[in-house]
Amino acid sequence: MTEDTPRPRRGRQLPTADELRIWRDFIETADALRSELTSRLQSETSLSPGDYAVLLALSEAADRRMRSSELAAGIGWERSRLSHHLARMEKRGLIHREECATDNRGADVVLAQAGATAFRGATVPHLRAIRELFVDALTPDQLTAAGDLAAALRARLTAADG
């Protein structure tokens, strides 16, 4: 077994004390990083991470619009959570909803001009915070290892779902 090969399953054996310490460090650090990024995003731009995720997805979509079901799947949210969040964003003028031209049962979520402006204004400060708090904290090798770690965990989760 090489250093890059995942450890074989050992039945139902529980994690060791060292493995649990590493797990807790990982989770607590990820939570602290997410919390700091959220705090900065909100204080610098008045957008929540949820707002940013929706605006990002819409800004990358064809014609800056998506079916609400596609948007929910794209950002990994339940449709009911998205619906409530979109209602709040619509009241703030960041998005609007239109009947779907090809299907009367659904609605398109459309990026409003105010949403596009808010997203553009938030992008640079948010990316600077990511660089400061994440990228610059790691060496190039550590950054590559973090990418490998994320890919391995995602692959395990994807395999568990399938």
For residue 81, what is the domain's CATH number? 1.10.10.10
Write the pLDDT tens digit of every residue in 15-71: 999 999 999 999 999 999 999 999 999 999 999 999 999 999 999 999 999 999 999
The answer to whether residue 94 sits within a structural domain is yes
Give the count of domains, the chain.
Answer: 1
Rg for the chain, CA atoms, rounded: 20
The answer to whether residue 162 sits within a structural domain is no
Write the pLDDT tens digit of every residue in 87-121: 999 999 999 999 877 777 778 999 999 999 999 99
The answer to whether residue 133 sits within a structural domain is no
Run of H or E residues at 113: helix 113-133
Going from the C-alpha of 20 to that of each of 33, 97, 107, 145, 157, the distances in angstroms are 20, 46, 45, 20, 19
Write the pLDDT tens digit of every residue in 144-159: 999 999 999 999 998 9
The answer to whether residue 95 sits within a structural domain is yes
pTM of the predicted protein model: 0.82
- Beta-carbon contacts of 61 under 8 Å, excluding residues fewer than 6 positions away, are 111
Q: Enter the tokens of residue 85.
A: 């969040």
3-state secondary structure of 139: coil
Q: What range defines the domain where residue 50 resides?
A: 28-127
Taking a C-beta distance cutoff of 8 angstroms, is the pair 82, 72 a contact?
yes
Q: Enter the tokens of residue 91.
A: 């009241």
Chain position carrying tokens 């660089």? 131
